[in-house]
Structure 1
Amino acid sequence: MSISGSAKYAEDYQRTNYGARLTLKYSTTTHFQQLTMKHLGKGNLDYLDLHDKNLATHVVTGVVYGAEAFFIFDRAIPDSESKKEISGSLKAIFKKPAFKIEGEAKLNLTKQEKNFVDKLHCKFYGDFHLNKNLNNFDESVKIYRQLPLLLGVNNENAIPKKVWLYPLHLLDNNVTRIVREIPSNLVDYSISTIENLRSLEVRALDSLENSIFTSLNHMKKQLLDFTAQLSEMQRYLKESIALYLPKLRGNTDVKESVLFNLFKQVDSSPFHKRTLESWLEEKEKEITLMTTWIENLAKDRNLDILIKSSSLDEVIDDTRYDYILCLSLRLVEKNDPQLTFMDNYLHNMNNFNSSSARKKHIPWFENSLTMAEIRKNLRQFKEFAEANNVKNTKIRFIVNEVYSFYHIKTVEVNLYNGGSEKEGFIVPSKPDAPYAISVTDNNVTLTWADPATGTEEVRNYKVMYQKHRGKTLVGKNKSKKDEQWAEVYTNANHKKIIISNLPPSSKFVFKVQSITTIELSAISACSEPIETLAKKVEPTTTTSTKTTTTSITTLTSTTTTIKISKFNKWKQNAITVAGGKGPGEELNQLEHPHGIFIDKKKNVFIADYYNHRIVKWKYNAKEGQIIAGGNGKGNRMDQLNEPTDMIVDQQNHSIIIVDFMNSRVIQWVNQNQQILIDNIDCWGLAMDKHGFLYVSDSIKDEVRRWKMGEYNNKGIVVAGGHGEGDKLNQLSYPTFIFVDGDEFVYVSDRENNRVMKWRKDAKEGKIVAGGNGLGKNLNQLHYPAGVIVDDLGQIYVADNGNHRVVRWREGKKEGEIVVGGNGRGSQSNQLSNPRGLPFDDEGNLYVADFWNHRIQKFEIIL
């Protein structure tokens, strides 16, 4: 059914919550016409076949003629005013005498009111034929007062406004009649559902008006997709109502439950009100945070920072710059789960599985560790830009938007040199404030602590100093001469310097700045005022020393046997035993290491994931040797494609490898290869004391076991195997596995954020770590990776997303941090998304430090 005239007003709903609207309605009636029913009586019909065709249920017996018109006045709400104030001003203007049809009242507006109405957006819907469209408020007033004339001299332009209907079945029992009325509660339910969708659409459209979307597009695209799908759902519901209503009101077999089920189905779909509100609220909070960050970076107009989704593409090949420092916003997923579920539902409602809908999760901005890391990177990026805000600089600062990787939302700082990213770069933070370790009458010996991050980028330091002039020269009283700082430089990156030729009995303040391989770091805070000594007649030197005491504890043991106990601890500062030279394919480098194996000689075998090889680092070696793969990415027998795990047989010198992207488990013996298991989405690998091989299948969500040498079968399912899910007999993307002496299987159940223990021949597993949703609390895990179990049954888990290794004792409600847990970073007490996790024979703990491209050894404290 198409509508026109004043009825089109019903389709014009307010499309923003950031505006005020006032609607002026004009309504009039002109005359009434009535019909008699004599010609419809039995035997009086001219067209007898009309009764038999069931084309009508009622006949019109009376019509009231007239016309209606609606004037809509919309006004955007500026930040300086409220909706209540704008609405009040609108009402005050429309109460003026000029808005009466009778009389000749003039529209006398004050200057303030004139400015107000000039900003109104005016629209007209009516049953009148206007010569031109409305353009402004004054024209609306003129047309409003001319409406009676537009009906015509004899009201010939009036239209039917109201009709009286008479049921035909009262004249003839054979005609169609309305059998059922639609219950009012069902009508209300239908209207409420559609109105909720429309309200959320308006809310999302309002979010799109945010100023950041002039620069950033990824989230803008998500919101546009969201509004489009809400609009599509509303259209579908309206079309369904139009289809069902005639059938419900007529004498058909269609029941009311059809309409009820139509809207009930929405409540169990991705279009459920609470689900949509939750998604939109999350986006609104993300927009608020991003707006704050962008405004903070852009408010200082002296800082030349390019903020744009495609900024990297625009400047990556600009030869004017040697370096590009990019703040990468990785906060938006390319294929958002909620939008994907909404789209799948709209296009395949009948086969939609509600169990696959978006699961509850903790938003990234509620993760304190994630937010701490983001704030640190934002602060360091801005400080670095401020420190290098000089003309003709060789470094360009940009803010770029990148889709998130592995569902990890973060903000990173990346350095590009010559068009390529410099892997492992960490922005040098500002050094700590310097302090004196020795003072004489003419010199001061200073030292300072390392910058918290990025020390490997520091070449040397610049030390600045000036006389301390107290509070008399603060702000406006400070002259240019007073603001000048003397500068001296250290040799190499030594954190100690002697400032000589200073006058005696004088106070100075000092500050330090790192000089890096690319530019300058932020400047440290100023030191406390340091006063040189008074000059004495006797040539003596008085030294005032500030002593820093470092406590060194020497550990001794009467036995070399490692006794595992629940009190075992490890040194918190690790030793890098492999890699640590940034990502690369050289023999002293690794790139995203995964699984690790330690033999009795403390040789480290590593699944070098992105280098498509297995490397062996001998004890205390400076570089590794390739023992499998290393012939490029591929599926030949002598090639690997992203290996994730392996087992080394030290007796026959063979190695069994999970060749992840080639979907196979392959054995290498002295450069000869044999495929053991093919066509399997393998990830983790383990072997029990009897030589049975266990493999996790990340797509089938199960772990299978094979007898050594018998791989021509499908194996036996020992964990999972009941499809993806979070029940005790299910897994969701299992990765690393471990098998203990009792043949119990421990599984890192990644997407369920838990570790499961399956006893031999068990029908379901037991949660032994995590299982309380994704998070950073001690009773939670964040995408667990490597898992091992000691002799006491204590479970050690590489808590990947929390950048730590935790220990759980079976039956306990929470774990304890063993190493890491100091935020994501590259310091010796930090990890960055740890993966593989073994012990050596002495109980030292080794960790594959994924994003730092290194293997860390945490020594046990005996």
Structure 2
Amino acid sequence: MATNMYHEKQALQVSNRSEDRLLSLVRILLLVGGVEPNPGPVEAGQLEIAALGRPFNLGMLYDARSEKTIPGVTLWDNETLKANVEKKEHKKVKVEIFENDTISGKTTALNLQANLKLSFLSGLVDIGGSGEYLKDYCDTTTTERITLQYNSTSHWESLGMDHLSTDKLQHLGVLEHKSATHIVTAIEYGADAFFLFDRKMSNKTDGTKFEGSLKSEIKGLKVMLGGSAAGKSKEKITDKSESIHCKYYGDFSLSNYPTNIKEARAAIQEIHKHLQSESVPKKVYLYPLSLLTDKAMKLVAQISASLLQRTEKQLQSLIDTRLIVSGILKVPELQHFGALKKEFMDYRAQVETSELLFQEKLRAILPNIRGGSMQESELTKVLETWSASMFRSDKMEEAVHGFKNELNYLAKKLHRIWQKVDEEVGEELKIEFSKPDEIDDNTVPILALEFNIADFRGSLIKECEESLIFLKSLNDPPEKREIKQVHSWYNDSEQKILAMQNMDIFLSFVASARKGQSIATKEGLQPARFVCVPDKSKGERGKAKSPISIVEYNRRNGTEINLPSYLSPPTVTNLTSNSAELEVELPSEGLEHILSVLILAKVNEHEYEIIKAQEHDNRNETKMVVKCPSVIVHP
């Protein structure tokens, strides 16, 4: 019957202000009674918002333009308010498990309305309790997250219909300050709890299987949360369970906050003890003050759905980029590349600055758009400005993709060095990791493989810095700004080929040295040191020729050289009983660094000796093993 009355009222052509008020008041009572009519225009009815841990009381004033509560100011005294409160039991419990860790997924879990979501994203809303869950994001490329949500309602409280009539307003003068647009007329009470379970993904883990495994680890917790009493779970704590980290956000006060599955079970048992005693405002119904008096401010407009979606997408991209780069910074191999790590850190800081700047712009314009002093086009301008910067979604995805690929490439090179030593020479040879200024031994030849990443960085950081200056000013028309293409050595096929060649040549020399780490110099055979320098500073000795180059050190001063590839075994062209003619094929690269070719020969198990050209040996028909190393300049 109430529903029919509501629809009949909506069908009327309401012309005077008193009938407008009556229609809105009927709508309030229907909502409290469990019937939820479709929302009309902003001025025609009330707003329905999530409390998000904020303190709300019946009769409290609220500014829907800035999402701010106005405590201590009401239209009635406390005695009148208390005498006109209506209560109704409304018990409901829902327990869910979900994997969506995006803005959309989180705001849906907390039932945020579209415009309140935008207010939260801009930082207008100060949240608490279970609402803190909205702030916790993880890097889903490296971490698997499953969220367990407990959602409960206990009762409703609302102001009586007669109490809202205009002639009973006791403090109408407070509305002259124009600080409020709505009044709290009904509150839904209850309590929420979120348990976030995270586990790091290994490179070998299949994402689908991992997710299923993580779900199975916490399936017993859902049953425990949904039960009327806290039963003991029969699930055992496994090795996999121990690797799962837990975080809690909720409206229940716990003696200890859980950090793992075992502690989460104890927390659930404690929650069941508080179900009857703890409840907080969850959903709040707001009545427009403009329908009570002409003195009140109006909420003129709300942001359109299309702009809401664009704004959410932009902020989600900024958050995702920041989290992914934070994950990359923890990769062990990156710690060897200081210059690269610094660029990643600088980029993350720039993304964070862009995110804060974006929120600042939103906070400045949203209340004005809602109050009618600004047009919605101002928000469009902000979005277009970010789209004309290095912080638009596709440009950030491109940067992150480049970071990952470059680091993976360099990490493989490091692993190749380690693997070469382990597989081919074992403990007989050591490749040291060092910095250029730490190479201080000049008594032996030092051959270094240097990663000159700092010399080949693109202009990403510079372009982002220019974008930040542009975003702070908002003076330049977005359509006139050109986004430059940022080039990287990693995408240059010629540079990658040259880097690979130098790596191969260096490792061939490492493998040829073998026992004793000997290398031929113009003074003869000498012990040698092989060094890997993964973090050469930018500008040392000028820009390098290749992202990965070979350097010969002399008194701490390194000289980049085009090292000759390892010579093939000599070919015997003419053999007699007491002589042999050998032919050596010279390498195609690095000839300028070959002073001469030494012939090393050994008899049986003796050590190699240098045999000079045309040297005579009286040992007829002696079997000898011969090899030819290149000679490297080492003064």
Q: What is the TM-score of this pair, normalised by structure 1?
A: 0.52
Q: Distance in 2 between matches of 1:57 and 1:424?
A: 72
Deviation at 1:501, TM superposition (A): 4.8
SS state at 2:248 partner: strand
Structure 1 residues 235 and 409, CA, compared in 2 at 3 Å: closer, same or farther? farther
Contact 2:445 2:529 in 1 (8 A): yes
Deviations 1:322-370 (A, max 9, x none): 4432222222358752212212332453367988866436543444432
For residues 185 and 289 of structure 2, the distance between their equivalents in structure 1, rounded to whole angstroms, comes to 11
Choose between structure 1 and 2: higher strand proportion: 1
Which runs of 5 or more residues in structure 1 are unaligned?
467-480, 520-862
5+ residue gaps, structure 2, are 1-124, 518-526
Asked if the contact 1:443–1:501 (Cα under 8 Å) also holds between the matched residues in 2, the reply is: no
Match in the other structure for 2:547 = 410
SS in 1 for 2:196: strand
Q: How does 1:326-365 map to 2 (within 5 A)?
A: 326-333=448-455, 336-349=458-471, 350=473, 359-360=484-485, 363-365=488-490
Deviation, structure 1 residue 59: 1.6
State the alpha-carbon separation in 2 of the partners of residues 514 and 465 from structure 1: 17
CA distance, structure 2, for counterparts of residue 365 and residue 497 of structure 1: 51
Secondary structure of 1:432's counterpart equals: coil
The answer to whether the 8 Å contact 2:601/2:611 transfers is no
Q: Helix, strand or coil for the counterpart of 1:260?
A: helix
Q: What residue in structure 2 maps to residue 583 of structure 1?
A: none
Contact 1:21 1:75 in 2 (8 A): yes
The answer to whether the 8 A contact 1:17-1:202 is kept is no
Relative distance call for 1:150 and 1:376 in structure 2 (3 A) is same
Structure 1 residues 391, 338: closer, same or farther in 2, change over 3 A?
Answer: same
Deviations along 1:131-182, one digit per CA (max 9) or x if unpaired, are: 2222321111121132132245xx3x31111122222222223322211121
CA deviation vs aligned residue, 1:462-482 (integer Å, no higher than 9, x gap): 33478xxxxxxxxxxxxxx8x
Distance, in Å, in 1 between the alignment partners of 2:596 and 2:545 is 33
Q: Distance in 1 between matches of 2:146 and 2:189?
A: 27
Q: 1:406 to 1:270 in 2, by over 3 A?
A: farther
SS in 1 for 2:569: coil
Task: Answer yes or no: is 1:398 the counterpart of 2:515.
Answer: no
**Which residue number corresponds to residue 114 of structure 1?**
238
Out of 473, 490, 494, the position equivalent to 1:369 is 494
Per-residue deviation, 1:20:
0.9
Q: Which residue of 1 aligns with 2:399?
A: 279
Aligned residue number for residue 202 of structure 2: 78
Q: Match of 2:418?
A: 298
Residue 91 of structure 1: how far off its partner (Å): 1.7
Give, in angstroms, the shift of residue 33 of structure 1.
1.3
Alignment of structure 1 residues 416-435 onto 2, 5 Å: 416-421=553-558, 423=559, 425-435=561-571
Deviation string, structure 1 residues 741-789 (Cα, Å, up to 9, x no partner):
xxxxxxxxxxxxxxxxxxxxxxxxxxxxxxxxxxxxxxxxxxxxxxxxx
Quick one: distance in 1 between partners of 2:452 and 2:317? 31
Q: What's the CA shift for 1:127?
A: 0.7
In structure 2, what residue type is equivalent to 1:60?
V
CA distance in 2, matches of 1:486, 1:502: 19
From the two aligned structures, give the one with the greater helix fraction.
2
- How far 1:28 sits from its partner (Å)? 1.3
**Counterpart in the other structure of 1:701:** none
Name which of 197, 202, 217 aligns with 1:93.
Answer: 217
Cα offsets for 1:204-240 (capped at 9, x unmatched): 2232232222222111111111111111111111222
Work out which of the residue numbers 186, 191, 197 in structure 1 matches 2:318.
Answer: 197
2:292 to 143, 166, 171: 171
Q: 2:13 is matched with which residue?
A: none
Question: TM-score under structure 2 normalisation?
Answer: 0.70
Aligned partners of 1:344 and 1:352 also within 8 Å: no
Letter in 1 for 2:449: L
Give per-residue Cα distances to partners, 1:423-465, cap 9 Å, x unaligned: 4644343223311221235643212122442554445413347
Deviations 1:584-626 (A, max 9, x none): xxxxxxxxxxxxxxxxxxxxxxxxxxxxxxxxxxxxxxxxxxx
Q: Is the 8 A contact 1:447 1:497 kept in 2?
A: no
Q: Structure 1 residues 167, 99: closer, same or farther in 2, change over 3 A?
A: closer
AA matched with 1:298 = W
Q: Distance in 1 between matches of 2:477 and 2:566?
A: 53
CA distance in 2, matches of 1:282, 1:446: 50
Q: Does 1:378 align with 2:503?
A: yes
Aligned partner of 1:796 in structure 2 is none
8 Å contact from structure 1 (residues 24, 71) kept in 2 = yes
Q: Could you tell me which residue of structure 1 aligns to residue 574 of structure 2? A: 438
In 2, are the aligned partners of 1:16 and 1:205 still within 8 Å (CA)? no
User: Identity rate of aligned residues, in percent?
Assistant: 23
What is residue 11 of structure 2 aligned with on the other side?
A: none
Aligned Cα root-mean-square deviation (Å)? 3.1
Partner amino acid, structure 2, of 1:401: D
Q: Is the 8 A contact 2:192 2:251 kept in 1?
A: yes
Counterpart contact for 1:465–1:486, Cα < 8 Å: yes
Q: Secondary structure at the match of 1:95?
A: helix
Structure 1 residues 32 and 369 mapped into 2: Cα distance closer, same or farther (>3 Å)? closer
| Change in 2 beyond 3 A, CA 1:456/1:220 | closer
Q: 2:452 aligns to what SS in structure 1? A: strand
CA distance in 2, matches of 1:361, 1:123: 39
CA distance in 2, matches of 1:435, 1:336: 47
Higher-RCO chain (CA-CA 8 Å, sequence separation at least 6): 2
